[in-house]
Amino acid sequence: MPRLATPRLPILLGLLIAVGPVSTDMYLPAFPALALALHNQAAPQYSLASYFLGLAIGQMVSGPLSDRVGRRGPLLCGLGLYILASLGAAASWNTVSFVVFRFFTALGASAAIVIPRAVVRDLADGPAAARLMSKLMLAMGLAPICAPLLGAVCAATVGWRFIFVVCTIYGIVALILAHIYLPDTLPYERRVRAGAISAFVRYAEIFRERAFLSHAIINACVAACLFAYLSGTPQIFEGIFHWSSTAYAVLFGVNSCAYIGYSQLNPILVNRFGVAPVISAFTVWQLLCTLLLVGLSIHPSGGLALAGGLLLCEAAFGLLLPCCMVGALSRHQAHAGAAAALLGTMQYAGGAVAGLGVGVLADGTARPMAMMMFGSAAIAALAATCRPRLTFELME
């Protein structure tokens, strides 16, 4: 445990959680090349849906498992599966094989997404946890900046398959660093002694708890906005506005920089105002920004105007996600892995619904993305009014 009290902890946890963004953001610019190579225009969307499904299922398994056997074992095994499945994706021979390998990639990546959140809850709560989570977001925020640019370069020079070779290398590095530097943060005496049935009962108990449910709904709706953006923008900017894959990657990188900047305001605002006021204020901000996007999609003003609206939305992504994670996990230290898994499953379920909605409603404009983001923001604002006061909020 003393080894954890170092500045490298947020960097390491951010590196692990970034497995998720690396696996999605890097191949977004390669969607046209991927569809052409697999002779299926819907192949990229199918693979994204299977990836989100794998994340949802994988987190439901890896979270309770980490509560029972500790954090290290499931994390290292998950990274091993991620490495093998990424190699399989690179060698895919048709749409079905690619979709299947992406599903297993997500199963492995899910451990690297849910377990670091549980590690944060093992070590801190309240504002301290929010500050640690914000540092973690800073570390993982580098992935969405670099990944699309690297993916665009790979697709244009070496080919889209090399993107998944890079994912494989990233997974190997993460596995080695986790094995060396991350001890188990869950002591043996705090581990849960329960079977599969008990795990599902525990999920039901967590889901019924009002603080968890309200914060998890906000978190899922913020994720829905984010994934609607991920699903919609490649077609909007490359297809409608005829931007190059490199230009789109630069846009993505700029938004990621904004996300990092906004997330680093989180500790300042939390220290000054508290967790609850930050959530209340920025659910309203998100609602107003997505309403602006709806206006821009109904009365198009060009790609730069739409990009500016998305840039404003990044404030909600960067400031709400850390606070919602803290609020959802605050009352669940005894089973932080299960709570983090359920939180992550709801988050990616929201993302899958939003991404599917953008695809189904696609009409050659930005309206489906904007409407999906606005609807998600409205639900988040409503859920924000239903939150109970938490212990650390009463002490602020």
Q: Which two tokens mark 144? A: 């969405």
pTM attached to this predicted model:
0.74
Virtual torsion, Cα 93, 161, 77, 350, nearest 10 deg: -90
Question: What element of type H or E holds 87?
Answer: helix 72-90
Nearest to 224 by CA among 320, 121, 299: 320
Tell me, what's the pLDDT at 63? 75
Q: What is the pLDDT of residue 326?
A: 81
Give the Cα separation of 327 and 333 in Å (integer). Answer: 12
Q: For residue 377, what pLDDT is reported?
A: 95
Q: What is the DSSP string of 352-385?
A: HHHHHHHHHT--SSSHHHHHHHHHHHHHHHHHHT
- What pLDDT score was predicted for residue 390? 65
List the chain pLDDT tens, one digit each, 396 residues.
434 445 677 778 888 888 887 888 788 778 778 888 888 777 777 787 788 888 888 888 887 788 777 888 888 999 999 999 999 999 998 989 999 999 999 999 988 888 887 787 677 666 666 666 666 666 666 666 677 778 888 888 888 899 999 999 999 999 999 888 887 777 666 667 666 677 678 778 888 888 899 999 999 999 889 888 877 787 788 778 888 877 887 887 788 778 777 877 877 888 888 888 889 999 999 999 999 999 999 887 788 899 899 888 888 888 888 888 888 877 776 666 678 778 878 887 887 788 777 777 778 788 989 999 999 999 999 999 988 876 544 444
Domains and CATH numbers, the chain: 2-186+193-395 (1.20.1250.20)
Q: What is the pLDDT of residue 248?
A: 80
Residue 70 has a pLDDT of 80
Q: How far apart are CA 112 and CA 173, in angstroms?
A: 13
241 CA to centre of own chain: 27
- Residue type for position 236: I
The C-alpha atoms of residue 236 and residue 316 are separated, in whole angstroms, by: 22
- Checking 30-38 for CB contacts under 8 A at 24+ apart, the result is 30/151, 30/152, 30/154, 30/155, 30/160, 30/163, 30/245, 31/234, 31/238, 32/238, 32/245, 33/155, 33/159, 33/160, 34/160, 37/160, 38/92, 38/94, 38/95, 38/98
- Give the Cα separation of 229 and 376 in Å (integer): 12
CB under 8 Å to 180, separation ≥6 — which residues? none
